[in-house]
Amino acid sequence: MESSDLQRRYIDFTSTLFREGFLDSQYTQLQQLQDESNPEFVTEVVTLFFQDSEKLQDDLTRTLDQEVVDFKKVAAHVHQLQGSSARFSTPPMRSLCIGAQRVKNVCMAFRICCEEMNREGCLGCLQQVRQEYFLVESKLETVFRLEQQIVAAGGSIPLMW
Amino acid sequence: MSMEEVEGSHGSMFEGGVEVRVLVVDDSPVDRRVVEGLLKRSGAMFQVIAVDSGKRAMEVLGLTEGKEAEQPTVDDPKIDIILTDYCMPEMTGYDLLKAVKEQSCQKPIPVIIMSSENEPQRISRCRAIGAEDYLLKPLKTNDVLRLRDYARPAALSPKTGTKRKIAIEMMAENSGSERRPCLAGLAAA
């Protein structure tokens, strides 16, 4: 396939991801930090992101599994999850991070459940968090695949912001 | 007025110059990696040491909680700037800032706080005990370039004495790059 066709596909796909809250401007920042001396920077950071999130999700599962749930601890984990995946600038700027406007929304609901000491609610939120991360991960895999195809076809990866 | 070593008129400050050693403290591996990427990419010659907690930072700095550095490490500090996240478990960036500023040596290392939250009260608390700056995450290239300004002066001047010394007041008298033929010997005592 021509690199220009691939680039068009890439732009269409990533535009949708931006619109749906899977990607935002920090992804572009990551792209800009990638160069010959840092050739794998984007995949490195994204991998770290998913490893870190998985660890936090496991911590959450463990904490919610206890006989007596320590809701303060749960809230602290959620805060970490939220912090690692969503940092906020002051309005009117958008929230900035990899794919996590959606996760941010779930985290907010999660924290309310913690305040209410609602275990079932927390478990429901955790399930949603897992689903969101799974979705983000698969979308990003598609993005990376398209990027590789573009480069292989001799083209350059469009910056999206 | 003090004498300063000055390079040639168009010489870059960093020619044969010294890298600024930044200690990055953040419990998030993602944030650490991104900040490291930013620092390395900015072209401003940073050497990055990244740790995941205030406790580890204290170890790198040679400080133990409750005990001041016995031999003030002014002579050869391993770190020129500390860039620390605010929100960390156990030891927060604020705690670390406080510990660093409480050192008895003359010039404690500059500390810059990073945070995702733009909270005025938090910002004034940090500045009140000596934080040089408070940066909002995610950091941008401009934020990072400013770090050089905060670095300890020793980190910026080359140590060798091969450069001509020119009295600062002579420089101040001349606008632009033209230098009068007055020599250092005429500097006021």
One-character DSSP codes across B113-163: EEES---HHHHHHHHHTT-SEEEESSP-HHHHHHHHHHS-HHHHS-S---S
Q: Is A48 on the interface with B (CB under 8 A)?
A: yes
In whole angstroms, give the CA distance from residue B126 to residue B131: 5
Contact list, B28 vs chain A (CB under 8 Å): 52, 80, 83-84
Q: Give dist(CA B137, CA B85) in Å, integer.
A: 9
Q: Which has more confidence, B155 or A23?
A: A23
Answer whether the bond into residue B110 is a cis peptide, omega within 30°: no
Contact between chains at B41 and A33 (C-beta distance less than 8 A): yes
Work out the minimum CA distance from A2 to partner chain B, whole angstroms.
Answer: 31
Task: Inspect the interface and report whether the beta carbons of A87 and B40 lie closer than 8 Å.
Answer: no
Locate the chain B residue with the closest alpha carbon to A38. B37
The verdict on a CB contact (< 8 Å) between A83 and B34 is no
Query: Cα(A101)–Cα(A17) distance, rounded to whole angstroms?
Result: 11
- Among B4-8, B57-61, B103-107, the minimum mean pLDDT is found in B4-8
**% of chain B residues with pLDDT over 70:** 62
A84/B30 CB distance under 8 A: yes
pLDDT tens digits, residue range B117-141? 888 999 999 999 999 999 988 788 8
Residues of chain A with Cβ-Cβ distance to B137 below 8 Å are 87
Picking from B28, B89, B118, the nearest residue to A84 by CB comes out as B28
Spatial distance between the Cα atoms of B91 and B105, rounded to a whole number of angstroms: 22
Position B152 confidence tier, pLDDT thresholds 50, 70, 90? low
CB–CB of B37 and A41 under 8 A? yes
**Is residue B50 within a helix (H) or strand (E), and if so which, with residue range?**
strand B46-51
Inter-chain Cβ pairs, chain A and chain B, closer than 8 A:
48
d(CA A150, CA A156): 6
- Nearest CB neighbour to A33, from listed B38, B117, B118: B38
Q: What is the mean pLDDT of residues A124-136?
A: 87
Kindly identify which residue of chain B lies nearest to residue A85, measuring between CA atoms: B30
Q: Are A29 and B31 an interchain contact pair (Cβ–Cβ within 8 Å)?
A: no
Q: Say how far apart CA A36 and CA A43 lie, in whole Å.
A: 14
Q: Is the ipTM of this complex over 0.90?
A: no
Q: Retrieve residue A115's tokens.
A: 């305040």
Confidence (pLDDT) at B103: 84
pLDDT at B155: 52
Cβ distance A49 to B40 less than 8 Å, yes or no, reads no
- A124 — pLDDT class (breaks 50, 70, 90): very high
In tens, the pLDDT along A55-114 reads 888 999 999 999 999 999 999 888 877 765 543 222 222 333 445 567 778 888 999 999
Evaluate if pTM is beyond 0.80. no
Quick check: A119 pLDDT over 90?
A: yes
A107 to chain B: which residues are within 8 Å by CB? none
Residues 84-103 of A with CB under 8 A from B: 84, 87-90, 96-97
Closest by CA to A110, choosing from A66, A70, A79, is A79
Q: Which domains does chain A have, with CATH numbers?
A: 3-146 (1.20.120.160)
Is the separation of the CB atoms in A157 and A31 below 8 Å? yes
- pLDDT greater at residue A117 or residue B103: A117
